[in-house]
Structure 1
């Protein structure tokens, strides 16, 4: 029997950290639908109880507290480490707090996975690690240039994942997400994705606030495409600590996004620590994972406008 058929056999136990959050809850839903036994961890720092799939085993725990999460790794085949505090302004204002979740929490997850002999860990990385680069598209061979504590913390996390492969032989792979959006995306807090902020402003009858000139571009990726990349990463042949871009390979200006959502706009000062442009080279995602995005930005936003976030 092949490795893939063994690992995809019904009843395989997988663990999702941040399983009550935006991306994590969608991933849990998909894994349950695929017939997996799913265990989820969350402390509800950003997740919501109503997002927890009732068919999944749920553990309320905090990845910053190693003792509270260790037993959750028993019998686990694959860990999807999605838990994070993804707030750039928060990381600038409170770098120690975000470091504890994004770096120390990640290290705790890796140690628990190693000690409980987990086969593979898929780490949710971030395209923010690239920072400003001289050329587009962004390719994995570029030297990272983090512009804010969050980006640096995510880069440290993926370096730890790579190191655990090299030191302990653990199968690890990092997926660098580009501008993930879709249903359940957060629209509260000091930093939310432009799409979420615009949709909320439209619902409330307010002007859409654009930071800077609005000509900055983002490679927005629908959450369903990110979920499919994670599932493919469970059993791809190469899990040697490498990082792989998960983005559509198309970017769009913030002004265009505002026009697609509709309504009056107002410009505010540009935010510190933001990248000017993002655009993913998805060559490695296609080659290693066999992954291609399916949801266009037009279809994704139309769906959100129809259904609500």
Structure 2
């Protein structure tokens, strides 16, 4: 899908992370000036190595918990794409204080800096975890439940703050509730690795992955290129009804973890036939996990012209190829 956006100066917080680095690269390819603010707590230098010397790329090694770093990053910019956060439900359960400091205090710092710098629009990464204990499917933006983890609390607070900053200060905000994003540059290592890169890495090493529960929990897995499209559309939208809104960003489908494993084994076995014979283990369900996640994307289609191009299967084929060539 073609999006016309060039000649702008755009901040990407968390720009050395998985989603952030893909956004930086795309914006540079579209001939924009990009400022990356990252403290490398979860982001990696290798994610930005291919464009770190690009003439239109500026790296600020700083922390969103430091208001001065935030103000430095937004000086003279048109837009902010706020991706910086401490993700992971289990991490937030283990350390709710740091999760809150980064995801709430850091978010507020970026809002204040953006307001003071008269940034035109502030687009931020929200989360499907905000739906909490709501059992209705598909998930519709204005019907949420109670959060099930400290991480979910912080992402909901972000939405409340963004709404207040629009209504009080006129800062244009758009929140994008990401649903289980995966794709190139997503880290397969570490205690809090997301399920797809983690399973890919284990299969490639000949190891048996462990599914939490019986594998019938379902997710609306979303390839990173769909997420990039949603961010770009949020920046360029001239629809006044689109501003100060929250949108689901997903493919609009759901697959179980058992489905996911089946696809991964099929696609990876094209590179190594032995992978097809690897069995999986089953463990306990994780505390704070939502049983089922399936997004309605009608609102984003209507107000942002969102049109995701990558299903789980199509995205997995791309991701598996990338991991095979880069791990």
Normalised TM-score (structure 1): 0.95
1:180 alignment counterpart: 181
Once the two structures are superposed, residues 236-274 of structure 1 have per-residue CA deviations (whole angstroms, 9 ceiling, x without a partner) of 123532111001110000011111112310001110000
1:301 CA drift (Å): 1.4
**How far, CA to CA, are the matches of 1:82 and 1:245 in structure 2?**
15
**How far, CA to CA, are the matches of 2:25 and 2:44 in structure 1?**
14
**How far, CA to CA, are the matches of 1:75 and 1:67 in structure 2?**
15
1:199 alignment counterpart: 200
Once the two structures are superposed, residues 95-152 of structure 1 have per-residue CA deviations (whole angstroms, 9 ceiling, x without a partner) of 0011110000000000000011101000110001001223200001103421000011
1:269 pairs, out of 248, 269, 284, with: 284
2:261 pairs, out of 258, 261, 280, with: 258
Secondary structure of the 1:234 match is helix
1:158 CA drift (Å): 1.5
1:304 CA drift (Å): 2.5
Once the two structures are superposed, residues 56-105 of structure 1 have per-residue CA deviations (whole angstroms, 9 ceiling, x without a partner) of 11100000111222122111110000000101111001100111100000
Which moves more between the two structures, 115-124 or 128-137? 128-137
**How far, CA to CA, are the matches of 2:88 and 2:40 in structure 1?**
15
Determine if the alignment matches structure 1 residue 243 to structure 2 residue 246. Answer: yes
Determine if the alignment matches structure 1 residue 292 to structure 2 residue 312. Answer: no
Once the two structures are superposed, residues 32-77 of structure 1 have per-residue CA deviations (whole angstroms, 9 ceiling, x without a partner) of 1111111110000110112123221110000011122212211111
1:197 CA drift (Å): 1.6
1:17 pairs, out of 13, 17, 30, with: 13
2:23 pairs, out of 20, 24, 27, with: 27
Aligned residues of 1:162 and 1:240 also touching (Cα < 8 A) = no
Which moves more between the two structures, 175-184 or 51-60? 51-60
Question: Against the structure 1 CA distance between its residues 123 and 307, is the aligned structure 2 distance closer, same or farther, given a 3 Å change threshold?
Answer: closer
Once the two structures are superposed, residues 157-201 of structure 1 have per-residue CA deviations (whole angstroms, 9 ceiling, x without a partner) of 121111100100110010000010001112223332221121011
Normalised TM-score (structure 2): 0.90
- Runs of 4+ aligned residues of structure 1 deviating over 4 Å after TM superposition are none
**How far, CA to CA, are the matches of 2:315 and 2:243 in structure 1?**
33
1:117 alignment counterpart: 118
Determine if the alignment matches structure 1 residue 50 to structure 2 residue 69. Answer: no
**How far, CA to CA, are the matches of 2:35 and 2:133 in structure 1?**
37
5+ unaligned residues in a row in structure 1: which ranges?
none
Aligned residues of 2:65 and 2:105 also touching (Cα < 8 A) = yes
2:222 alignment counterpart: 221
Question: Against the structure 1 CA distance between its residues 143 and 306, is the aligned structure 2 distance closer, same or farther, given a 3 Å change threshold?
Answer: closer
**How far, CA to CA, are the matches of 2:316 and 2:302 in structure 1?**
28
Secondary structure of the 1:206 match is coil
5+ unaligned residues in a row in structure 2: which ranges?
266-277
**How far, CA to CA, are the matches of 1:73 and 1:218 in structure 2?**
35
